[in-house]
Amino acid sequence: MLTAPSLGYSLLAPMLIVLAGAVIGVLVEAFVGKARRTAIQITLSIGVLLLSQQQLWRIKDLSSTTAAVGSVTIDKAGIFLQATIILLSLVAVLLIADQDNFVAQASALPGSPEEQNALQEKSQQTEIFPLFLFAVSGMMLFTVASDLVTLFVALEVFSLPLYLLAGLARRRRLLSQESALKYFLLGAYASAFFLFGAAFLYGYSGTISLVEISAAVGSANDVFLLIGIIFISVGLLFKVSAVPFHSWTPDVYQGAPTPITAFMAACTKVAAFGAILRIFYVGFAESQTIWRPIITTIAIITMLFGSIVAIAQRDVKRMLAYSSIAHAGFLLSGVVALNKDGLAASLFYLFAYGFATLAAFGIIALIRDSSGEVSDLNRWVGLGKKSPLTAAAFSFLLLSFAGIPLTSGFVGKFAIFSAAYQSGNISLVVVGVLASAIAAFFYIRVIIMMFFTDPVNDSVSVIIPSVKSKISISASLLISFVLGIAPSLLLTTAGNYANFIR
Amino acid sequence: MSLLTIIGLLPLVISILIVAIPSKNIGLIKKVAFGGTTVIAIISILLAVGFDKSGTSLQYVQSNAWIPTFNINYSVGIDGISLVLILLSTILVPIVVLATWHESDRGRWSAKVFYVLILILETMMIGVFAATDLFLFYVFFEAMLIPIYFLIGGYGSGNKSAAAVKFLLYSLFGGLLMLASIIGIYVISGNQIGATFDLAQLATLEIDNQTENFLFLGFFIAFAIKAPLWPFHTWLPDAAKAATPGTSVLLLGVLDKVGTYGMIRFCIQLFPDASKTFTPLIITLAVISIIYGAFMAIGQKDIKGLIAFTSISHFGFITMGIFAMTSQGMSGANLYMVNHGFSTAALFLIAGWMMMRRGSSTISDFGGLQRVTPVMAWVFFIAGMSGLALPGLSSFVSEFLVLVGTYTRYPVAAIIGTLGIILAALYILIPVQKILHGPTTPGNEYLTDLNLREKIAIAPVILVIVLMGFYPKPVLDLINSTSEQVVTNAGFSDPVAKVDK
């Protein structure tokens, strides 16, 4: 007879609340009248996120490996990562709430009369909110999952909604749908690789638990361990868009509705790197001689590739996509460091990078012409003259991505590189600074276009943002700014929370 | 709070005041900028008055925790070398503001932005020379690029945005190499004495030779780009040509000194062994810079390009003096930094006025200015003579000290360096003759002479050039003990008995 597993509901509450919010969101879609849905969905999303954050605050000093029969480990680092995801989501949901970025009726074919009707009737569908909440809950689970099957489930729970959300852009729908399909197909392959690797690790160690896999190292033929680690890594590196598994990134960043790009770029990175850190720090720490050279190489290639290819980009969203690839390389340096400093630095970096990214994409969504958003950089010329404040804010974010001192990006880079140097990976530090120098070139080029080039007639304008966007963009900007000047509070917190329990 | 911190913060306070003034009220903005920077200059002189010349330890120190996680502190303090460079910065800023009263009107953005950028830059210039925490220094070192970048790109002329980018990318590249070295020395300190950025503590580290060489190179290349040493100099002429004369004064007069200052403060103090290893190479580069800069200057048709290349030659002298590792060479190099600051300021400002009046920066467009605009001609003449180190003017003392100091250890380099002086006579006297003497050429007949504002602005600069030529003792007193200490700390002693200065 099966006995019901004992669950630590109190520790799982933050995740369960978001999941419940998502389910209620689906019910709202089914039973509430069209007119009131939007308001209810937004309130619901913000409400559950706040509640979940409050629950995280309550359990912030607790830890347990048995909250869900050994498949979830609640620990300091997990709580920090979950809190980061929720804070980022809170900002992101305000961007998503600007619904004119989304298709009115996803089932209507692009260009069809149904689409026109839906637009004219303003019958905006609101299924994005439950999808968003499902994705958030999956991300939260991903960062605390401590066995391979739970990891896989969490991976799918947050990936599937994202595949859908990526295809929901109102304008340039075909591009958006193409990107969604590409993301889905490649993502499905990556998931399959992950599962395949999990099977090999199970075959090697006879267990799916990360801790027990770590304990089993050396007990059987290491080839299976190697194959398992490599395949698992492929699945994970796909999610963080490390080279050579990055090819979806520019297309999806460009095609997806900008608020979704913002959400994806910020939160997926946190979730996926959270999982990578846990898997490598907890599960594979004993077998580091096997994977460290591989991940080091990938980190180096990713940093260089992302920075170099970004130079050739003419679309701001694609450029930021390649920049996010380069940042994935920097973050991998923190993984390779494999020490407490590396973990703390990665936690800080993810937080800081997340908010800068949200703010950047939030601003991109404001820059439009009559037919919608303009992401072609050539048409951004002279923006500094028309809307100096917006252009200055965007420049500040670019400088932060480039890692100029007094920005949050610099502190993060410094922390990551000193951890990498500490662990003896000097080559990573040298390549990292070289890649930063290359990257500086294209960030600065955008600043030149905005400030030092005269506007041409067909150039674009900045729409007046809604209150929600305004709040979300200014909050992210403020956080980025404060983290640059006075990073010590978050650094100390990240240092205190940089701990995986086994 | 140390007086140093107050002086560093004042420009920021004034810039906030300026932000509060409506953009249309340009006159008031300029007056506040000038008045404010003058007050800062006067207060910074108090800094020198209260400075204990005989002391070799840091003065006006202050230290507060900034990022405790990495043991990063807001630590400032000055010795003689940083004091004179801070004085140079704070004195040049109001002069630049007054001398280039109308420069800010013709930019891409309003005059308000111009003065806010200048004031932010001043804070960073003070900070970079005052910082005794390596991380803090790096923050100022990199962050000061941003205001200069916007000053060149927004208010310059010609191919300004390309020049601004070239400047920024070169500097960033060097800065990032330095960052790798900073991380390296930070981690090493963590392994040996507990992670720290404090300069005095970092200087006590025992680093193995190979690592030390790499760390040294990271710092040195960054500073060699900044102070432009051949072959890292190519950004400077472009930037100097594109920037407004006022910006050029700050760029060549002060910012580039951060490079030579960094060589003394960081390269030599933190990595004495590596400095020894690389000295022959660096002296060679310095000599090449002296000769190359001089030859390029002779060939220049553009007056700003001329000043830029003479500066490359002068920076060669400064670097040579530093790495000669003698107390005369070191004192000479330090004095040279100050003198070069003032003589470049004079040259650029007067060149700026000439160009503004004539509407051209080509040397051959000018001719016979002595008859039309005697005051301007005389000022240009004195500035030029200071540039070629005429005895009696300030640069002579420092150039002489550098050559004497170098000769005792590297006679060949010193002798080749002396050639630079002869070439200097060519690159200064030929333009002086073309521009000032002979019959007044067409287009120059109706140029107006310096007005009262311009005379007031340039007077203190000329005064300093002349005074320091005859009586450099006050400044040398500030510099000497620190210079000797630097040389001693690096493990060198003077090869021959000291000459009496």
Contacts of A444 in chain B (CB under 8 A): 165, 168-169
Supply the DSSP symbol for B232. S
State the Cα–Cα distance between residues B344 and B347, nearest whole angstrom. 5
Determine the residue among B112, B149, B152, B179 to mutate to test chain A binding: the one whose Cβ has the most chain A Cβ atoms within 10 Å.
Answer: B179
Burial (CB count within 10 angstroms: exposed 0-12, middle 13-18, buried 19+), residue B445 = exposed
Task: Give the CA distances from residue A405 to residues A53, A412, B128, B144, B267, in Å, rounded to whole numbers and listed in that order.
Answer: 31, 10, 13, 10, 21
Is the separation of the CB atoms in B11 and B36 below 8 Å? yes
Q: Which chain A residue has its CA at the smallest distance from B218's CA?
A: A430
Confidence of residue A66 (pLDDT cuts 50, 70, 90): confident
Burial (CB count within 10 angstroms: exposed 0-12, middle 13-18, buried 19+), residue B299 = exposed
- Give the pLDDT score at B42: 92
- The 3 state secondary structure assigned to B243-263 is CCHHHHHHHHHHHHHHHHHHH
Q: Which chain B residue has its CA at the smallest distance from A388's CA?
A: B109
HSE, side-chain direction, 13 A CA sphere, residue A399: 24
Q: Which chain B residue has its CA at the smallest distance from A414's CA?
A: B183
Determine the residue among B178, B183, B192 to mutate to test chain A binding: the one whose Cβ has the most chain A Cβ atoms within 10 Å.
Answer: B183
Contacts of B19 in chain A (CB under 8 A): none
Of A99, A148, A149, A150, the C-alpha closest to A127 is A99
The mean of the pLDDT values for chain A is 90
Confidence of residue A263 (pLDDT cuts 50, 70, 90): very high
Q: What angle do CA B128, B129, B134 make, to 5 degrees?
A: 60
Contacts of A422 in chain B (CB under 8 A): 187, 190
Of B472, B456, B89, the C-alpha closest to B249 is B89
- Give the pLDDT score at B353: 87
Residues 6+ apart with CB under 8 A from A113: none
User: Which tokens in the block code for residue B81?
Assistant: 């070398």
What phi and psi values does residue B359 have, to the nearest 5 degrees?
75, 25
Supply the DSSP symbol for A7. B
- Give the pLDDT score at B446: 79
Q: What angle do CA B52, B56, B62 make, to 5 degrees?
A: 75
| DSSP element (H, E) containing B33 | helix B26-49
Supply the DSSP symbol for B364. G
What phi and psi values does residue A313 have, to the nearest 5 degrees?
-80, 140
Cross-strand pairs, B76? B62, B131
Look up the pTM and report it: 0.91
Question: How many residues does the structure list for chain B?
Answer: 501
Residue B314 is assigned to a structural domain of this protein: yes
Query: Which among A414, A430, A492 has CB closest to B68?
Result: A492
- Give the pLDDT score at A115: 77
Contacts of B154 in chain A (CB under 8 A): 451-452
Find out whether the peptide bond into A293 is cis, omega within 30 degrees of 0. no
Count of structural domains, chain B? 1
Query: Which among B143, B177, B186 has CB closest to A404?
Result: B143
Cross-strand pairs, B131? B76
State the Cα–Cα distance between residues A147 and A212, nearest whole angstrom. 9
Q: Is the pLDDT of residue A121 over 80?
A: no
State the Cα–Cα distance between residues B205 and B215, nearest whole angstrom. 13
ipTM reported for the complex surpasses 0.90? no
Determine the residue among A449, A451, A491 to mutate to test chain B binding: the one whose Cβ has the most chain B Cβ atoms within 10 Å.
Answer: A451
Cβ separation A404–B142 shorter than 8 A: yes
Residue B498 is assigned to a structural domain of this protein: no
Residue B287 is assigned to a structural domain of this protein: yes
Task: Give the CA distances from residue B8 to residues A163, B13, B86, B188, in Å, rounded to whole numbers and listed in that order.
Answer: 53, 10, 10, 31
User: Which tokens in the block code for residue B457?
Assistant: 């602005």
Is the separation of the CB atoms in A98 and A138 below 8 Å? no
Determine the residue among A395, A404, A434, A438 to mutate to test chain B binding: the one whose Cβ has the most chain B Cβ atoms within 10 Å.
Answer: A404
Cβ separation B165–A445 shorter than 8 A: yes
Maximum alpha-carbon separation in chain A: 77
Residue B472 is assigned to a structural domain of this protein: yes
Q: Determine the distance in angstroms separating the CA of A274 from the nearest CA of chain B, rounded to an integer.
A: 22
State the Cα–Cα distance between residues B167 and B442, nearest whole angstrom. 36
Cβ separation B70–A441 shorter than 8 A: no
Residue B494 is assigned to a structural domain of this protein: no
Task: Give the CA distances from residue A317 to residues A210, A232, A271, in Å, rounded to whole numbers and listed in that order.
Answer: 37, 29, 21
Contacts of B150 in chain A (CB under 8 A): 451
For A3, the 3-state DSSP assignment is coil
- Give the pLDDT score at B501: 47
Q: Which chain B residue has its CA at the smallest distance from A495's CA?
A: B69
HSE, side-chain direction, 13 A CA sphere, residue A405: 19
Residue B417 is assigned to a structural domain of this protein: yes
Q: Percent of chain A having pLDDT more than 90?
A: 60
Supply the DSSP symbol for A457. T
User: Which tokens in the block code for residue B379?
Assistant: 């000022």
What phi and psi values does residue B72 have, to the nearest 5 degrees?
-95, 130
| DSSP element (H, E) containing A88 | helix A76-96
Residue B500 is assigned to a structural domain of this protein: no
Quickly tell me which residue has 């910082």 as its tokens.
B131
State the Cα–Cα distance between residues B28 and B121, nearest whole angstrom. 20
Query: Which among A430, A434, A488 has CB closest to B69?
Result: A488
Per-residue model confidence as pLDDT tens for chain B (501 residues): 888 899 989 999 999 998 888 888 888 888 888 999 999 999 998 888 888 887 778 888 888 888 888 889 999 998 888 999 999 999 999 998 888 888 777 777 788 888 999 999 999 999 999 999 999 999 999 889 889 988 888 888 878 888 888 888 888 889 989 999 999 999 998 888 888 898 888 888 888 888 899 999 999 999 999 888 888 888 888 888 888 888 888 888 888 899 999 999 898 888 988 888 899 999 999 999 999 999 998 888 888 888 899 999 999 999 999 998 888 888 889 999 999 999 889 988 988 888 888 888 888 888 877 888 888 888 888 888 888 888 878 888 888 888 888 888 888 888 898 888 888 888 888 888 888 887 887 877 777 888 888 888 888 888 988 888 888 888 888 888 888 888 888 777 776 555 554
Burial (CB count within 10 angstroms: exposed 0-12, middle 13-18, buried 19+), residue B385 = buried
Confidence of residue A458 (pLDDT cuts 50, 70, 90): low
Is the separation of the CB atoms in A40 and A28 below 8 Å? yes
- Give the pLDDT score at B376: 86
State the Cα–Cα distance between residues A351 and B273, nearest whole angstrom. 41
Q: Determine the distance in angstroms separating the CA of A293 from the nearest CA of chain B, rounded to an integer.
A: 21
Q: Which chain B residue has its CA at the smallest distance from A418's CA?
A: B183
Of A286, A233, A14, the C-alpha closest to A133 is A14
State the Cα–Cα distance between residues B167 and A155, nearest whole angstrom. 46
Burial (CB count within 10 angstroms: exposed 0-12, middle 13-18, buried 19+), residue A222 = middle
DSSP letters, B297-355, are: HHT--BHHHHHHHHHHHHHHHHHHHHHTTSHHHHHHHHHHHHHHHHHHHHHHHHHHHHH
Contacts of B186 in chain A (CB under 8 A): 418
Is the separation of the CB atoms in B74 and B58 below 8 Å? no
In angstroms, how far is CA A12 from the centroid of its own chain?
Answer: 22
Chains A, B: CB pairs < 8 Å: 85
Residues from B in contact with A at Cβ < 8 Å: 65-70, 108, 138-140, 142-143, 145-146, 150, 153-154, 160-161, 164-165, 168-169, 172-173, 176-177, 179-180, 183-184, 186-187, 190
Q: Determine the distance in angstroms separating the CA of A464 from the nearest CA of chain B, rounded to an integer.
A: 23
Q: Determine the distance in angstroms separating the CA of B190 from the nearest CA of chain A, rounded to an integer.
A: 9
- Give the pLDDT score at B40: 92
Of A385, A403, A224, the C-alpha closest to A329 is A403
Cβ separation A433–B146 shorter than 8 A: no
Contacts of B66 in chain A (CB under 8 A): 488
Cβ separation A453–B161 shorter than 8 A: yes
What phi and psi values does residue B404 have, to the nearest 5 degrees?
-60, -45
State the Cα–Cα distance between residues B72 and B136, nearest whole angstrom. 8
User: Is pLDDT larger for residue B137 or for residue A124?
Assistant: B137
Q: List the single range of A62-71, A193-202, B104-113 with lowest mean pLDDT.
A: B104-113
User: Which tokens in the block code for residue B340?
Assistant: 């070069």
Query: Which among A385, A402, A429 has CB closest to B180?
Result: A429
Cβ separation A404–B146 shorter than 8 A: yes
Q: Determine the distance in angstroms separating the CA of A405 from the nearest CA of chain B, rounded to an integer.
A: 5
HSE, side-chain direction, 13 A CA sphere, residue B202: 29
Q: Percent of chain A having pLDDT more than 70?
A: 99
Is the separation of the CB atoms in A138 and A163 below 8 Å? no
DSSP letters, A90-155, are: HHHHHHHT-GGGB-S-TTSPTTSHHHHHHHHTT----THHHHHHHHHHHHHHHHHB-BHHHHHHHH
What phi and psi values does residue B366 have, to the nearest 5 degrees?
-90, 160
User: Which tokens in the block code for residue B463?
Assistant: 């005064």
Total H helices, total E strands in chain B: 22, 2
Domain ranges, residue B335: 3-489
Residue B497 is assigned to a structural domain of this protein: no
Q: Which chain A residue has its CA at the smallest distance from B143's CA?
A: A405
What phi and psi values does residue A375 have, to the nearest 5 degrees?
-110, 5
Residues from A in contact with B at Cβ < 8 Å: 344, 385, 399, 402, 404-406, 411, 414-415, 417-418, 421-422, 426, 429-430, 432-434, 436-437, 440-441, 444-445, 448, 451-453, 487-488, 491-492, 495
